[in-house]
Amino acid sequence: MKIAQQRYYLFSLNTNPMFEKVISVFIEKIEGLIQSGKTDLNKAEDGISLCVKTLSKLQKLVERDDFEDSQVEINFFKNMKPIPMSYLIYFTEVRSCELLLPKAGNSHKVRFLEKEIKKINKFFSANNSFVNYMEQSHNYLDFQFFSRGGRRDFSFTPTINYYQNPEFSTSHDMLWAKVQALYRFIHYIREKLELIQPGSSGDFRERQPKLLLWTGSKTSLVEIIYALYLKGDFNHGTADLKTIISAFEDFLNIKLPNYYKTYGEMKRRTDPKAKYLYEIATILIARMRKDDEK
């Protein structure tokens, strides 16, 4: 959320509890689907179905209750609807890629994926101003972009007419959803290329100086990663948990298998549940106080 959250922390902002419940359930199911051992094609097909059902629920809630004020409306179209909408676009792109990817010849597959990357770059180039607006966390055009009373010149034409309902769309909510979707799609393509040419990204990492090794417990690192993920500060909240985990694994030369299981064990702790975060925050505050005393 913000994908971007677009995570749970944004629900503290102007929102409807019913919207919050629908999105919370959706995020939980999506994370379970991504973590499942299904093929990318099956994940995409299941994901599309889940997204459509979730968007349908949200639309019915909007039709029934509408919004209390313009700020609630803006928050919904900027930070909430784009969550399932972005995953719908993402899974649609993945499904298309899986079906169209050449079946034989690695060189053909690589060329196909490189073309996909060019399409993504072209999209970001064409929408540079809007992407910059969102990445800088501006809000002065939010009424125009994310309110049904704002601009009506839609910047992104969806392939599903259902979502063009004027009572359930603004001029830029779907464009923002596509930006978030393509952030995820880039990661998907990177992983696909690695499978086709094993070791290509590994060879690159081998050339990098390995200056940092995580020597703390893996549970502590997972605790940090979950906190950062829920705060939504990577790619404006568009980075999913798996992507962030992979980035930390690369950066710190470590493997973090079964991180969902680790999170479950953390939840069963007695207080403080975020033990490591509590400890490092305590250490930092103590040091600051000591410095102030000098």
pLDDT, tens digit (0-9, with 9 covering 90-100), for 24-33: 899 889 988 9
Q: Which of 172-181, 234-243, 277-286 has the lowest mean pLDDT?
A: 234-243
The overall average pLDDT reported for the chain is 82
Mean pLDDT across 243-257: 82
Residue 96: the pLDDT is: 93
Q: Where does the pLDDT of residue 222 fall: very low under 50, low under 70, confident under 90, or very high at 90 and above?
A: very high
Per-residue pLDDT, averaged over 129-158, amounts to: 79
pLDDT at 3 exceeding the cut of 60 = no
- Secondary structure letter of residue 76 according to DSSP: I
Q: In this model, does residue 163 exceed pLDDT 80? A: no
If one counts every other C-beta atom within 10 angstroms of the C-beta of residue 129, the result is 7
0.75 exceeded by the pTM? no
Most confident of 42-46, 186-190, 269-273, 274-278: 42-46
- Residue 69 has a pLDDT of 84
* 246: Cα separation from own chain's centroid: 14
